Amino acid sequence: MRQTQIAVPTWREASADAESGGHRYLLRSGMIRQLAAGVYTYLPLGFRVLSKISAVIRQELNHAGVQEMLMPALQPAELLKTSGRDEVYGHELFRLKDRHHREFALGPTHEEVITSLVKQEISSYRQLPVAFFQIQTKFRDEPRPRSGLLRGREFLMMDAYSFHNDYESLDSFYEVMHAAYERILSRCGLEYRGVEADAGAIGGEGGSHEFMAFSDIGEDTIAVCGSCGYAANLEKAEVRLRLAQNGSEPAGINSGTNIENAVPERFHTPGLRTIEELSAACGEPASSFIKTILFNADGAAIAVLVRGDREVNEIKVKHALGAQELRLADGGEIVDWTGASSGFSGPVGLTLPLLVDREVALMRRGIVGANETDYHLRGVRPGKDFSLERTGDFRNAAEGDACPRCHGVLSMQHGIEVGHIFKLGEKYTSPFNAQVLRADGQSLTPVAGCYGIGVSRLMAAVAEQCHDEHGLNWPEEVAPFRVHLIPVSAKDELQMQMAEKLYQVLIGLGMEVLLDDREERPGVKFNDADLIGIPWRIIVGKKAGEGYVEVKRRGMQETETVSLEEAVRRVT
* Residues of the shown chain interacting with Mg ion in the complex, contacts defined by CB under 5 A: 200, 417, 420
Close Cβ partners of 202 (under 8 Å, ≥ 6 residues apart): 109, 111, 420, 422, 424, 450, 452
Q: Is residue 419 at the binding interface for ligand ATP, with CB under 6 A as the rule?
A: yes
Q: Which is nearer to ligand ATP, 57 or 539 (CB)?
A: 57
Q: What are phi and psi of 216, to 5 degrees?
A: -65, -25
Residue 484's binding partner out of ligand ATP, Mg ion, none, with CB under 5 to 8 Å set by partner kind:
none
Burial of 363 (0-12, 13-18, 19+ CB in 10 A): buried
- Helix or strand run (H / E) with residue 455: helix 455-465
Answer whether 464's CB lies under 8 Å from 216's CB: no
Distances in Å between the alpha carbon of 63 and those of 176, 183, 279?
10, 11, 48
Residue 300 per-residue DSSP state: -
x/- mask, ligand ATP, residues 140-159, rule CB under 6 A, reads x-x--------xx--x-x--
Residue 341 per-residue DSSP state: G
x/- mask, ligand ATP, residues 123-142, rule CB under 6 A, reads -----------------x-x
Q: How far is the CB of 464 from Mg ion (least distance, A)?
A: 17
DSSP-assigned letters across all residues of 270-336: TTS--HHHHHHHHTS-GGGTEEEEEE-TTS-EEEEEE-S-HHHHHHHHHHHHT-S---PPTT-EES-
**345: nearest Cα among 361, 360, 329:** 329
x/- mask, ligand ATP, residues 59-98, rule CB under 6 A, reads ----------------------------------------
Q: Which is nearer to Mg ion, 195 or 478 (CB)?
A: 195
Q: Which is nearer to ligand ATP, 415 or 487 (CB)?
A: 415
Residue 110's binding partner out of Mg ion, ligand ATP, none, with CB under 5 to 8 Å set by partner kind:
none
Q: Which is nearer to ligand ATP, 453 or 513 (CB)?
A: 453
Q: Which is nearer to ligand ATP, 463 or 540 (CB)?
A: 463
Q: Which is nearer to Mg ion, 86 or 417 (CB)?
A: 417
Residue 512 per-residue DSSP state: -
Q: How far is the CB of 417 from ligand ATP (least distance, A)?
A: 4
Q: Which is nearer to Mg ion, 158 or 348 (CB)?
A: 158
Answer whether 320's CB lies under 8 Å from 273's CB: yes
SS3 state of residue 47: helix
Shortest Cβ contact with Mg ion: which residue? Answer: 420
**65: nearest Cα among 179, 193, 165, 166:** 179
Q: How far is the CB of 422 from ligand ATP (least distance, A)?
A: 8
How many residues of this chain bind ligand ATP (CB under 6 A)? Answer: 18
Residue 151's binding partner out of ligand ATP, Mg ion, none, with CB under 5 to 8 Å set by partner kind:
ligand ATP
Q: What are phi and psi of 335, to 5 degrees?
A: -80, -45
SS3 state of residue 492: coil
Q: Which is nearer to ligand ATP, 151 or 482 (CB)?
A: 151
Distances in Å between the alpha carbon of 460 and those of 6, 131, 283, 452?
22, 27, 44, 16
- Please identify which residue in 418, 485, 540, 544 interacts with ligand ATP, judged by CB under 6 A: 418
Q: How far is the CB of 161 from Mg ion (least distance, A)?
A: 15
x/- mask, ligand ATP, residues 172-211, rule CB under 6 A, reads ----------------------------xxx---------
Beta pairing partners, 306: 290
x/- mask, ligand ATP, residues 440-469, rule CB under 6 A, reads ------------x-x-xx------------
**Counting every residue, how long is the chain?**
572
Q: Where on the chain is the footprint of ligand ATP (CB under 6 A)? A: 109, 140, 142, 151-152, 155, 157, 200-202, 417-420, 452, 454, 456-457
